[in-house]
Amino acid sequence: MDALLLARIQFGFTISFHILFPALTIGLASYLVVLEALWLRTGQSRYLELYQFWLKPFAVAFAMGVVSGIVMAYQFGTNWSEFSRFAGAITGPLLTYEVLTAFFLEAGFLGVMLFGLKRVGPGLHFLSTCVVALGTLVSATWILASNSWMHTPQGHEIIDGRAVPVDWLAVIFNPSFPYRLVHMVIAAYLATALVVGGTAAWHLLRGRDHPQIRTMLSMAMWMILACAPLQAVVGDLHGLNTLRHQPAKLAAMEGHWSPTPPGTGVPLILFGWPDMQAETTRYKVEIPRLGSLILTHSWDGQIPALKSFPPEDRPNSTIVFWTFRIMVGLGLLMIALAVWGNALRRSARMYLSRPFLRFALAMSPAGLVALLAGWYTTEIGRQPWIVYGLQRTADAVSPHPAGEVGFTLALFVVVYLAVFGAGTAYGMRLLAAGPQQAGDDPGPGGAGQPRQPMRPLSAATEEPRNGR
C-alpha cells in the first residue's frame, strides 16, 4: 500500500465514525423537539419521560460527534495539504461558516437543553431544544454544501493553480447540493427512527410493556412509513442528477460496461460481480430494459458505459456496485417494516407480534449501515477525483512516507475502537435501561445496590452513641 491509499483509508475510517454520530444527533434533536412539543400541548407525562430518556443518548452522540469531527478536520492539513492549497479558499470559509453559525447555536443553547428543564421556564427550554435542533440542520447544510461543491464544482475560477470563489451563491447552491442535503437529512431521520423503534421492540420482547415504550414504537413506525418512500423518491431524483453531472459514477454503480444498441434499452443488473481487470460484470442477473426505465425514466433510454471513459477515470465499480445495492436493499426492508407495522396497528397487534418485534430489533442498525453504504457509494464513486474534473486525488495528498501514514492509521484504529467503542457501549446501556415511569425509583447507586446518599451520614439508621 502506498501513502495515497493509506491516506484514503485513514480518512474513510475516521469519517465513517464521524458521520454516524451527527446523523443520530440530527434525528434525535428533531425527535426531542416533537416530544417536548407534545408534552407542552397535551400535558401527558409519557412525552416528558421519553424526552428525558432520549436526552441522554443525544448528549452522548453529540459529544462523540464533536470529538470525531475535530480529528477529521485536522486531516485536511496533515494528509491532504495539496487539496487544502488548491480548494482551501472555498472549503475553508464554508467550514468556518458552519462553526460560526451552527456550532455556536448548539453550544450556546445545549447547556439549557441538557440541564435547564427544572431551572428555566418551559417556554425557554423548548426554545433551547428547537435552537439546538436547528443548529444540527444548519451544520449539515454547510457541510453538505462543501462536500457537494467537490462533486459538482460551480462558482469558481482557477487562478494561479487554485480554485478561487467568484460567486458564493453558485458555490453553495451547486447542482448536486439540494439532492444531497435532503437525502442526508432524511437518512438521519430514518436511522434515528429505526434506533428508536428497535429500542422499543427490545423492551417489548422482554415484557416491558407500558405506554412510553408503545409510544416510542408507534412514533418510529409512523416516521419510517413517511420517510422511507420519500427517500426512494429523493434517491431517484439524485440519480438523475448523477447521470447528468457524474455519468462515470452511475455507470460504475450499475456495473454497465458496454454501450447497448439503440432501441434495446439498458438492462438492470440485480446482482453480479464487476471485474475491473476484465472490464465486465460476471455472474450477472439482469432484467431487460428496467435499467433504462429507472435510470432515465424512458423505456429505451441510454446511460454512458464504463468503457466510454479512460481506465484512469473510472471509479471502482466492484465496490460502488455493492455499496449501492446494500443501501437500496436496506431501504426496501425499511419500507417493508413500516408497512408491516402499520398494518398490524389496525388490528392492535403491533405491540404483541413477536416476529414483527424481532424484525424491528434486527433493523435497528439498518439506517446507520445504509447511511455508510450510501456515503461510500458517493465518495468512492467520485474517484479518481477529489474535486470532480478539477483535481485528482493523487494530486491532493500530502508528501508523507507510507510508513508514517500507516503508523497513524494503526494508531487511529486502536484509539477509535477504544474511545468510541466505550462511548457506544455506554449509549447502549442507556437504551437498555429504558425510560422511567412516573413514580419509579430514581435508580440504584450500582448494580443491585441501594442509591448512595450525597451525605454519607444521612444513610445511618441509628443515632450516634457515646459521641461516636
Each residue's pLDDT tens digit, 100-131: 887 777 778 888 888 888 888 888 888 888 99
User: Taking the alpha carbons of 148, 152, 153, 155 in that order, is the dihedral positive or negative?
Assistant: negative
Is 337 inside a domain boundary?
A: no
Check whether 195 has a pLDDT greater than 60.
yes
pLDDT reported for residue 77: 78
Q: Which cell is 346 given?
A: 389496525
Question: Given pLDDT bands bounded at 50, 70 and 90, which one contains residue 461?
Answer: very low
Residue pLDDT, tens place only, 206-262: 888 888 888 899 899 999 999 999 999 998 898 888 888 888 898 888 888 888 777
3-state secondary structure at position 54 = helix
Question: Given pLDDT bands bounded at 50, 70 and 90, which one contains residue 48?
Answer: confident
Is 370 inside a domain boundary?
A: no
pLDDT reported for residue 438: 56
pLDDT reported for residue 334: 93
Label the pairing between strands 268-275 and 280-287: antiparallel
Is 422 inside a domain boundary?
A: yes
Percent of the chain beyond pLDDT 70? 93
Is 219 inside a domain boundary?
A: no
User: Structural domain tally of the chain?
Assistant: 1
Tell the residue number behind the cell numbers 435552537, with chain if given. 131
What backbone torsions phi and psi does residue 299 show, to the nearest 5 degrees?
-65, -30
Q: Is the pTM of this model over 0.75?
A: yes
Mean pLDDT of the chain: 84
User: Taking the alpha carbons of 420, 149, 381, 401 in that order, is the dihedral positive or negative?
Assistant: negative
Contact 387, 150 (CB under 8 A): yes
Q: Which cell is 59 given?
A: 448528549
Percent of the chain beyond pLDDT 90? 24
Work out the average pLDDT over 82-106: 85
Check whether 67 has a pLDDT greater than 90.
no
Question: Given pLDDT bands bounded at 50, 70 and 90, which one contains residue 451?
Answer: very low
Is 278 inside a domain boundary?
A: no
Check whether 266 has a pLDDT greater than 90.
no
Question: Given pLDDT bands bounded at 50, 70 and 90, which one contains residue 458?
Answer: very low
Work out the average pLDDT over 382-399: 88
Check whether 205 has a pLDDT greater than 60.
yes
What backbone torsions phi and psi does residue 462 show, to the nearest 5 degrees?
-130, 155
Question: Given pLDDT bands bounded at 50, 70 and 90, which one contains residue 440?
Answer: low
Question: Given pLDDT bands bounded at 50, 70 and 90, which one contains residue 1?
Answer: low
Is 64 inside a domain boundary?
A: yes
pLDDT reported for residue 456: 41
pLDDT reported for residue 419: 84
Domain containing residue 169? 1-174+401-435
Is 306 inside a domain boundary?
A: no
Bigger pLDDT: 101 vs 455: 101
CA–CA dist 400, 80 (Å, integer): 10
Residue pLDDT, tens place only, 352-364: 888 999 999 999 9
433: number of Cβ within 10 Å? 12
Mention every residue, 6+ apart, whose C-beta is less than 8 A from residue 319: 376, 380
Is 391 inside a domain boundary?
A: no
CA–CA dist 91, 94 (Å, integer): 5
pLDDT reported for residue 437: 64
Bigger pLDDT: 36 vs 75: 36
Strand partners, 271: 285
Work out the average pLDDT over 463-468: 45
Question: Given pLDDT bands bounded at 50, 70 and 90, which one contains residue 389?
Answer: confident
Q: How many CA atoms lie within 13 A of 285 on its CB side?
A: 2
